Structure 1
Amino acid sequence: MSEISGPVDLVSQKKRIPLIGRLSSAQRGILIAMLIFAVMFLVYGWKQATGLTPNMINTAANKGALLALVAMAQTLPVITRGLDLSVGATFVLSNCLASTLVVGGPVTTSAGIIAVLIVGAICGSINGIIIVYGRLQPLIATLAMSAVYFGIALAIRPQPGGSVNFEFADFMTRSTYAVPHSVLLLLAVVVFIWIPYRRSVLGRASFAIGSSEQAAYMSGIPINRAKLLAYTLSGVLAAIGGILLTALTYSGAAKMSIANEYTLNSIGAVVIGGTSLFGGAGSAIGSIFGAFVMRTVGDLLIVFDINPVLQPLFVGTVLLVAVSLGSLRVLRIKNRLDIYR
């Protein structure tokens, strides 16, 4: 009996150990991003003369939520081993549209919000169609469409302006019991969009495609539909961010600098949050905290009286380090399967 029990225990241990390793590795990026954000935000609050007041927390949450939504939009294509360079332009286009359509009473405001979300979905689906059926590289396709979307935004808003429903904007940007509504918006996006997508057949397929598109194809996974859905949802999330920007600024502005800033920072936020640029691994929660880390970097530069001219240098350095660390892990491994453990 003792001779049999030994091998049985050894087999059970072999089954348990890899599972524990996979779980800890999957959560590592999220935990690191949360820890970095907590430390940086506490330092930011300590340097503030008034401390961490509810108004200051609400302002920081509103700014971070904008980048968090764009970062989540970027996460979906990255999981499929793609990259969407048009998320910033879709974000700006949605802002310009919302400043025109999200006005008037409750009915017209609701119709305007739906219209902006539909336009965002159309932008994302166009990207997906070009990539899937046009067989273009995601970088080239989304870079070209970024110019198209920005051109449309510029046609809508040649000059900054417009307006938004005041009650809607006030509700989206205030807080209740010290809980910013923008944070509740992020929670709603995770619960009603990310989790259902992650648990769906096409959502699981996107992770399989990022791990190995060839193996996914041989397994009969619907690659085309999975990629198309990922890019379509990416456009929707970027549109939600554009609507929130309109609620914060009460206007729309077609500025290439805004589009470029959010596109680049979204990549940094995705990497900081633990999403692999090589595909197959990623999390919306990690991207949210990665976005807040990127936003807090800018806030720290302000409170430490860093010359504003040098701020892009520091932010660019953080972005470079984040991407380099994400690639360093791949250079160290001997077996590609270790990336997804």
Structure 2
Amino acid sequence: MSDTVLAPAAAEPKKKTLRWGDGLSLRWRKHAGILGALALFLVLYLFYQMSHPRGFTGQILIQNANEVFALALVSMAQTVPVLMAGLDLSVGAVMTLVGCIASHLVDGSPTDIALGIVACIAAGATCGFVNGCVVVYGRIQPIIATLATSAIYMGLALILRPTPGGKVQEDLSWAVASDVHEFAATFGLFDDGEATWLQPFAWIPVPLVLLALIILVIWVPFTRSVMGRTVYAIGSSETAAYMSGLPINRAKLAAFTLAGLFAGLGGLFLALQTSSGNADIPQAGAYTLNSIAAVVIGGTSLLGGTGSAIGSMIGAMVLRTISFNFRIFDVAPLLQPLFEGLVLLAAVSIGGLKLLRLKNRLEIFR
């Protein structure tokens, strides 16, 4: 029997298995912006509550939630165009216009109130749709297009409310600016003897409940839809999204319409909170600028493609908590923009460091 030399079998490439720690690291990097903003908010808010002379009370929580809500909605509105690497400079104007409309329509019988609320929401969405049409069909950069439309919306608001005034339904105004118990009691949704199931949630401010509902009912379904995924794809690379056959124009229209809807909801709440309408130009500008700051603090990249409206909502909470602390310590109001600017600069710098590291890695392949 002859000796036979067998050739060694070719070594199979080792398959790299994804360990549990690797998956955790990926998830951490994906949500690092939101988690960082949440940590900053918790630190600032805990410091605020510890320093407050009255301590932690339900009334203070309700007041804080009321002050946060409008900015949170405007920041969520700003998030959608930023995800496409654009900016919407009209969100504050849309909020103001819808607030003025609400001061005319959200009053009277229950039917009148319901129709008025629908009209306000539709007005906000329509303003956003107009923005989208100007960007898509006019082929104008979003920052320029929305700068022009913001002036138009403010002009309409001034026509509706040359001076502050009007009113909204008082019970509704009180209910949405209170806690869950007061909301239910105002509209007779339960008798005292039948409300035991509500007691664990009775202390929660209604604005926080509304924010959670908006996230669950509007934002989450949008991000899981084709339009939502296309918005993220446009921000990452519009050319690649186009070559993939994604509906670019329809996604842009949907994105700006959603931004107008969010801003309109913020304006509707602001009218309910103040029980009036006010075409305040400085206030509209302040909300627009603060919305950009909240978006950046919340971890959304101004270059598009990454981020979330949830992070922007938390970023709005950070900004408002800074103002809460300034109010407690009676610091000069002129120092507040300085401190907010430093926080914004730090957030932008952290995002810039991430991009610099990515660029340095790509240099290896040149």
Instruction: Compute the TM-score of the two structures, normalised by the length of structure 1.
Output: 0.93
- State the SS of the aligned residue for 1:231: helix
Match of 1:308 among 315, 333, 355: 333
| Aligned: 1:90 with 2:115 | no
- State the SS of the aligned residue for 1:235: helix
User: Using the alignment, how far apart are the partners of 1:253 and 1:320 within structure 2?
Assistant: 31
Flag structure 2 segments of 5+ consecutive residues without an equivalent: 1-8, 181-201
User: Using the alignment, how far apart are the partners of 1:4 and 1:41 within structure 2?
Assistant: 62
> 1:265-305, CA deviations, whole angstroms, 9 ceiling, x for partnerless residues?
11111111111111111112111111100111111111122
1:57 maps to what in 2? Answer: 61
| Aligned Cα root-mean-square deviation (Å) | 2.0
What is the correspondence of 1:1-341 to structure 2 with a 5 Å cutoff?
7-8=13-14, 10-13=15-18, 19-176=23-180, 177-334=202-359
- State the SS of the aligned residue for 1:11: coil
User: Using the alignment, how far apart are the partners of 1:166 and 1:247 within structure 2?
Assistant: 8
One-letter amino acid of the structure 2 residue matched with residue 244 of structure 1: F
> 1:191-211, CA deviations, whole angstroms, 9 ceiling, x for partnerless residues?
110011001011111101100
Q: Is the 8 A contact 1:265 1:319 kept in 2?
A: no
Give the number of aligned pairs: 333
Instruction: Compute the TM-score of the two structures, normalised by the length of structure 2.
Output: 0.87
Structure 1 residue 309 displacement after superposition: 2.9
> 1:24-80, CA deviations, whole angstroms, 9 ceiling, x for partnerless residues?
112111111111111101111111111111000110011111111111101111111
User: Using the alignment, how far apart are the partners of 1:98 and 1:328 within structure 2?
Assistant: 44
Cα gap change, 1:57/1:193 in structure 2, threshold over 3 Å: closer, same or farther?
same
Cα gap change, 1:327/1:143 in structure 2, threshold over 3 Å: closer, same or farther?
farther
Q: Is the 8 A contact 1:100 1:164 kept in 2?
A: yes
> 1:117-141, CA deviations, whole angstroms, 9 ceiling, x for partnerless residues?
1111110011101111111011100
Structure 1 residue 215 displacement after superposition: 0.4
Cα gap change, 1:178/1:132 in structure 2, threshold over 3 Å: closer, same or farther?
same
Structure 1 residue 17 displacement after superposition: 7.2
User: Using the alignment, how far apart are the partners of 1:309 and 1:125 within structure 2?
Assistant: 37
4+ long deviations beyond 6 Å:
3-6
User: Using the alignment, how far apart are the partners of 1:284 and 1:56 within structure 2?
Assistant: 25
Identical columns (%): 50
Rg larger for? 2
User: Using the alignment, how far apart are the partners of 2:295 and 2:237 within structure 1?
Assistant: 20
Cα gap change, 1:216/1:49 in structure 2, threshold over 3 Å: closer, same or farther?
same
User: Using the alignment, how far apart are the partners of 1:188 and 1:301 within structure 2?
Assistant: 30
Flag structure 1 segments of 5+ consecutive residues without an equivalent: none
User: Using the alignment, how far apart are the partners of 1:225 and 1:252 within structure 2?
Assistant: 33
